[in-house]
Structure formats: C-alpha cells, structure tokens
C-alpha cells in the first residue's frame, strides 16, 4: 500500500515516492518522501502503516 500525502505545488494528493520514516524535533513520527510529478518533498504526520 502506497502512502499518500498532499503536494502543495500540484495541489493534490499524491503517492509518496521513496518514503522514509523519521521523528520530528519533539519526537512525533513523520513520513517524508518526494512527489512523483514535481519532486517536491511531501510529508505526512504519523508512522507509515
């Protein structure tokens, strides 16, 4: 199952390319990846399932 996040440049939900799980500065889980269309970094709060 691919992880979706909102891309602000494309103004649409996109499937994340190369998702990586990490933590924010205050210890919350976050998933970061790239938009497949424009290459912008997109994030989703919460761990990948």
Pairing of strands 4-7, 12-15: antiparallel
- Domain extent for 24: 2-43
Token pair for 17: 């390319």
How long is the chain? Answer: 49
7 domain-assigned: yes
48 domain-assigned: no
Token pair for 35: 């938009």
49 domain-assigned: no
34 domain-assigned: yes
Whether 41 shows a pLDDT value over 90: the answer reads yes
Q: What's the pLDDT band for 2 if we cut at 50, 70, 90?
A: confident
27 domain-assigned: yes
Report the number of distinct structural domains present in the chain: 1
CA atoms of 8 and 4, how far apart (whole Å):
13
DSSP state of 26: T
Reported pTM:
0.79
């Amino acid at each position: 199952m691919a992880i979706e996040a909102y891309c602000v440049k494309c103004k649409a939900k996109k499937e994340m390319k190369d998702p990586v799980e990490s933590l924010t500065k205050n210890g919350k889980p976050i998933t970061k990846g790239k938009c497949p269309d424009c290459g912008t970094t997109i994030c989703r709060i919460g761990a990948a399932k």
